[in-house]
Amino acid sequence: MTSYFDGIAPVTYEGPDSTSDLAYRHYDPDEVVMGKRMEDHLRFAVAWWHSFAWPGGDPFGGQTFQRPWFGDTMEHARAKADAAFDLFAILGQPFFCFHDFDIRPEGASFAESASNLDAITDYIGQKMETSKTKLLWGTANLFTHRRFMSGAATNPDPDVFAYAAATVKSCMDATMKLGGQNYVLWGGREGYETLLNTDLTREAEQAGAFLSKVVDYKHKTGFKGTILIEPKPQEPSKHQYDYDTATVYGFLKRFGLEKEVKLNLEQGHAILAGHSFEHELAMAASLGILGSIDMNRNDYQSGWDTDQFPDSPREVALAYYEVLKAGGFTTGGTNFDAKLRRQSLDPVDLVAAHVGGMDVCARGLKAAAAMLSDGVLETHRAARYAGWDTPDAKKMLKEQSLAEIHDLVVAADLRPEPKSGRQEILENVVSRYI
């Protein structure tokens, strides 16, 4: 242990009546929910970038946090890893996620950055040998450095495409070396600022070729994990190509990759796209591409990606309802791509933020599991569509032409009557379970 979290004991489950700031009231890793341990359902992960690399800046002011590991040497990188594994142990966290940029100092050349990555992943790998915490996913940061300002795969300069491809290869290698269960691609700069200087057709072809090479590398190396794309409609780019679930699915189909790549969906990104999180999850499940989630919310007032820890049991319950209905996570999990507010300076804030987020998720999961097991929503949904299970309706859908249907309507003198959708009753049902 480092001394950073001194005085903070490992967090334990104390039950709903506990008044401690640092206890789980709902998250009991061993509690069995729908036949599976809660820890194995939720598969929580700490995000290295927000929890250990983010300095607490905003557009009006710089760093507020003063972490002893801030700095750009390998020594700092190792101290950061030490503190990270201390937090994982305090939380009992099963997983973490990282970008190359979060864990190693940037070198003066590609080769130096790659060798730093190799050294720090050796160090992290050693720490993992004595820790229960595994790697949920690794990813490349292809958006912070100025070389990526006009995109990575979709850059007008082929040299940047090449640099991005080499970076992803090294990050996939690092992910495999640490036994990662997924590899994520989030294209923050894959989009444009103005159409006036942008060739949409070329950029889509570049992105398709890039992703095909990533999938090809996965197969060549025998990586057993899942390749995930994380959709987001804008920010940092004005318009991002991976707008939302449906858009990414269209892109995957266009390049024949819909069986190869799944999605990492983030609550806040769904909201930025004008959807609810459950919409994005349900859509992905329906298309067979639901992979993993980033469970961090936005401030509904501000309209940008504020990356806050979740605090709404109802929202979280509706999200896990879709996850459970789809059969639960396989390689995916629940990553807290969430950061503290910039006034939350202390080690205890970092611990409490995760404890609160995990607890809200546990509560949501239990509510979702109960709603699903009791069948309260599905029974109603099935009844609402029951007409479609009749032979006549099936025949109409599959076999009959527009003209034949017309003749049937005339012959039967069909006069459809509207039926209640029962929305308020269903909303009350959900409230009963929260």
Binding site for ligand XLS (CB under 6 A): 99, 139, 184, 186, 188, 230, 232, 266, 294, 305, 337
CA distance 264 to 287: 14
- Mention every residue, 6+ apart, whose C-beta is less than 8 A from residue 108: none
State how beta strands 182-185 and 95-99 pair: unpaired
Q: Please say whether the dihedral angle defined by the alpha carbons of residues 332, 45, 323 and 309, taken in this order, is positive or negative.
A: negative
Q: Which does 102 bind (CB under 5 to 8 A by kind): ligand XLS, Ni ion, none?
A: none
Where does this chain touch Ni ion (CB under 5 A) — which range of 12-20, 37-45, 289-297, 322-330?
289-297
Residue closer to ligand XLS (CB basis): 94 or 138: 138
CB of residue 356 to ligand XLS, shortest distance in Å: 20
CB of residue 130 to Ni ion, shortest distance in Å: 29
Interior CA angle at 252 toward 168 and 295, to 5°? Answer: 70
Cα-Cα end-to-end distance for the chain = 38
Q: Which does 139 bind (CB under 5 to 8 A by kind): ligand XLS, Ni ion, none?
A: ligand XLS
Taking alpha carbons only, the member of 15, 294, 365, 352 closest to residue 139 is: 294
Q: Render the burial of 102-116: b for 16+ CB within 10 Å, e for the rest.
A: bbbbeeeeeeebbeb
- Mention every residue, 6+ apart, whose C-beta is less than 8 A from residue 364: 313, 314, 315, 316, 317, 318, 319, 320
Residue closer to ligand XLS (CB basis): 11 or 97: 97
- Provide the Cα torsion 405, 406, 410, 413; round to 10°: 60
Cis peptide before 236 (omega within 30 of 0): yes
Where does this chain touch Ni ion (CB under 5 A) — which range of 11-19, 111-119, 142-150, 290-298?
290-298
CB of residue 201 to ligand XLS, shortest distance in Å: 26
CA distance 80 to 68: 8
Contact between 337 and Ni ion per CB under 5 A: yes
CB of residue 264 to Ni ion, shortest distance in Å: 7
Q: How far is CA 297 from CA 23, 77, 151, 235, in A?
A: 22, 28, 26, 15
Look up residue 178 and give its DSSP letter.
Answer: T
CB of residue 91 to ligand XLS, shortest distance in Å: 19
Q: Which of 266, 280, 315, 322 binds Ni ion (CB under 5 A)?
A: 266
Where does this chain touch Ni ion (CB under 5 A) — which range of 90-98, 217-225, 294-302, 358-366?
294-302
- Mention every residue, 6+ apart, whose C-beta is less than 8 A from residue 19: none
Q: Which does 328 bind (CB under 5 to 8 A by kind): Ni ion, ligand XLS, none?
A: none
Contact between 102 and Ni ion per CB under 5 A: no
Interior CA angle at 193 toward 192 and 196, to 5°? Answer: 90
**10 Å Cβ neighbour count for 52?**
23
CB of residue 305 to ligand XLS, shortest distance in Å: 5
**Which string of x and - marks every residue 49-88 that binds Ni ion (by CB under 5 A)?**
----------------------------------------
Residue closer to ligand XLS (CB basis): 230 or 359: 230
Residue closer to ligand XLS (CB basis): 11 or 84: 84
Contact between 242 and Ni ion per CB under 5 A: no
Where does this chain touch Ni ion (CB under 5 A) — which range of 1-9, 335-343, 352-360, 410-418?
335-343
CB of residue 208 to ligand XLS, shortest distance in Å: 20
Place of tokens 């892109």: 251
CB of residue 416 to ligand XLS, shortest distance in Å: 45
Binding site for Ni ion (CB under 5 A): 266, 294, 305, 337
